[in-house]
Amino acid sequence: MSRLPKRLRGVSSLIAVVLIILITLIGGLILFYVAQNLFFAESPASTFSIDNAWLVRDTLGRTSFAVTIKNIGRKPIVQLNITLDHENTTTYDLSSDPLEPGESASFSPPLAEVYIVGNSYSLTVSGRFSDGSIYSISQTLKCSGSGGYTEKRFITFHVEGVDDTATESILIVDGQEYSYSDFPLSFHWLKGTLHTFEWKETIASTDPEKRFLWQSTEGLSNKRTGTILVKIEGDITATYSLEVTRRIVFDVEGIHDATEPILTVDGVDYTAGSLPKVFYWKNGTEHTFAWASPVLDGDNTRFIWQATEGLANTQTGSLLVTQSGYINATYSTQYYLTVVITPETGGEVTLDPANEWFDAGSSVVATATPNPDYAFEGWILNGEPRSENPVTFTVDEPTTLEALFIKTTTIIFNATGLGSDGIGTVLTVDGVSYSVSELPLAFNWIVGSSHTYTWEEIVSASAGKRYVWSSCTGLSTSRSEVITVPDNGGYIQANYYTEYLLSISTTTGGTTDPSPGDYWQSEGDIITITALPDPNYKLDYWEINGIADGSTTAIQITMNTTYSITAHFKLSVAEITFNVNGLNDDATGDILTVDGVNYEYSDLPITFTWEIGSTHTFAWASPVPAAAGKQYAWESTTGLSTKQSDTIVVPQGGGEITAIYKIQYQLTISVALGSGTTDPAPGTYWYDSGTEVEIMATPAESYVFAYWMINGVQNTSNPVTVIMNQPITVEA
């Protein structure tokens, strides 16, 4: 067998070493993976341990409790329940700060019981993990410390002779009531402590004909009610006897707050406040009863027996007990009605119905009738004023009705100066309005009473007429006042005077003195009215109550009726405007002559203010020079005249005179001397703008027509037509 060269053998050794190292690393990783899976396979996902727990009581009797929990699972703990001695449970919500795997935490739940040094207690810890799984662990925890030993004793209460028909509590312990279903009733009390108890003397049953009566107590106490000092464990047993009776109940309807006795049973009186009254009577016994009537409750209220129902139907009688049942009496309430008349001589009061005592809810009608020289003022019903008469009211309490009467006298209201045509309210008395037709007014008022009155300051009448208050005489001189009625009465008279309406108006062109408007003037006043024309206006005429009446500047009227006066004005001048159409700014020289005065184009339009009816002359110039070869010619006139020149009379309202011009252009025709002629003949002509002009050239003997030169342009046509829309020069 041949061997490898030395160099190759060295390389092979190095490769071998590398392979060994790689194999070792891969094997280690495989072993680690297997070991890891084995470890986690043995460790549950949801588990924890109690690493430490202690319960210690010190010399002052204070007990401390703590427990340390370690999460040895693979899921976070989100809730812990720690229970000591099977009943003291504390819950910790760790959802916001979970106890993570591998973490430990200590908890000190509050204690609600007394724990005795040396005694052992069960400790249970239950945990909920983030995946919802639950794990629980329990152990025994011994209370250590130097606080001494406190003992508890079991005290048990028993009851005999009572069955499950008992409807009331049987026993009260330390203020807490307990019923039949709570027995036997055990308490785990500390030695040396004091506790109170009370057995009920009588216990009702669901069967109305039986009840349970306390007979005796035995055991740690022989009393029905008392106090227990806890020394030893023991029992307290109460014995009850069953009593079968007939249950008779007396009750009443319709009575409240009566202090007098209402019921007598076997010679014993009972008030309404003590009812219902229950009696347990033996079969065959006989008992007497009597319902009182009437039963007073103070001086003004009483109750009247109406009926008895149940085991008896009489107001009084004897009852032979043969069955359970009830005896109910029904009463009605009556109230006393006290009537007072003030003053006693003022009048009288009648009642319907005419009684003094009335059943509650009764409706009563009271009527007050005053004596002569008195007036009924009103009622005071149980302290509240009433004004109607008769008055109807309901008696639902003790009632006092006082009728108030008072002396009266007469006050008369009248007026002078008012005609029967007065319209609307003239006088208001105590808020009530009165018209002219109701005067005079007489009021029978209570002496010393106060009343308001107001005479209207203005009383309307027919159109344009009214009455105006001027004064008052009698008990007052004021138009409006509050008066106090005197002993002997009196009068108040209002005095009025007549006013008429003066309405002044104008047409356009002026005003008046007094100014236009409405004026109320006293009857008989003499009024002067003056017309005041505006500039360029004058008074035309007056119109008085629809009739034209002269044109004097001032008029006088006497106010004995309604007046409507209008001043009619008219213009004294008018405006005449001269205007022109068809001219442009190149127009030169005078265009218009008015009353001998010349005006150029720049002066137009021009307006003259002339007196109406005056005469004026005008003339429009024609032609009107313009630029070279151009002029304007008068064509027509519109408005107040159609002439180029005229004399006008200024009309009412004025007007306008407008001249219309047209444009004309110059045509110049020329030929060389002796060479011929033209038609039109050589010369200067004016034509309206746009006119077509035909020109014929006729050569002289020995000449022939060659061409035209029209504004410097040759044209060989003959004849030739030119359009006059500009100045034109034609040379043949």
Residue 150 pLDDT grade (very low, low, confident, very high; cuts 50, 70, 90): low
Identical topology for domains 50-145 and 573-664 = yes
Q: Where are the domains of the chain?
A: 50-145, 152-244, 247-333, 507-571, 573-664, 666-731
Predicted confidence at residue 115, as pLDDT, reads 72
Express as a percent the part of the chain with pLDDT over 70: 92
Mean pLDDT of 224-237: 95
Mean pLDDT of 497-520: 97
Please determine, for residue 20, whether its predicted confidence score (pLDDT) is greater than 50.
Answer: no
- pLDDT tens-digit profile of 157-189? 999 999 999 998 999 999 999 999 999 999 999
- pLDDT tens-digit profile of 298-308? 889 999 999 99
> Using CA atoms, how far apart are residues 599 and 591, in angstroms rounded to an integer?
6
Residue 85 pLDDT grade (very low, low, confident, very high; cuts 50, 70, 90): confident
Please determine, for residue 311, whether its predicted confidence score (pLDDT) is greater than 70.
Answer: yes
Please determine, for residue 41, whether its predicted confidence score (pLDDT) is greater than 90.
Answer: no
Please determine, for residue 673, whether its predicted confidence score (pLDDT) is greater than 50.
Answer: yes
- The CATH T-level fold of domain 573-664 is Immunoglobulin-like (2.60.40)
Predicted confidence at residue 60, as pLDDT, reads 59
> Using CA atoms, how far apart are residues 435 and 420, in angstroms rounded to an integer?
10
- pLDDT tens-digit profile of 623-651? 999 999 999 999 999 999 999 999 999 99
Mean pLDDT of 110-117: 72
Predicted confidence at residue 86, as pLDDT, reads 75
- pLDDT tens-digit profile of 427-477? 999 999 999 999 999 998 989 999 999 999 999 998 999 999 999 999 999
Predicted confidence at residue 15, as pLDDT, reads 34
Predicted confidence at residue 458, as pLDDT, reads 96
Q: What is the 3-state secondary structure (H, E, C) of 18-70?
A: HHHHHHHHHHHHHHHHHHHHHHHHHCCCCCEEEEEEEEEECCCCCEEEEEEEE
pTM of the model: 0.38
Mean pLDDT of 412-426: 96
Report which of residues 122 and 180 the model is more confident about: 180
The CATH number given to 50-145 is: 2.60.40.10
Please determine, for residue 56, whether its predicted confidence score (pLDDT) is greater than 80.
Answer: yes
Residue 663 pLDDT grade (very low, low, confident, very high; cuts 50, 70, 90): very high
Any idea what DSSP says for residue 423?
A: B
8 Å CB contact between 117 and 143 = yes
| DSSP helix/strand/coil, 216 | strand
8 Å CB contact between 542 and 569 = no
Mean pLDDT of 413-423: 95
8 Å CB contact between 154 and 233 = yes
Tell me the average pLDDT of the chain: 90
Mean pLDDT of 712-720: 95
Beta strands in 464-562 (DSSP E): 465-474, 480-484, 490-506, 510-513, 517-522, 526-533, 537-544, 547-548, 554-558
Any idea which of 16-20, 195-199, 599-603 has the lowest mean pLDDT? 16-20
Predicted confidence at residue 146, as pLDDT, reads 63
Any idea which of 188-192, 399-403, 490-494 has the lowest mean pLDDT? 188-192
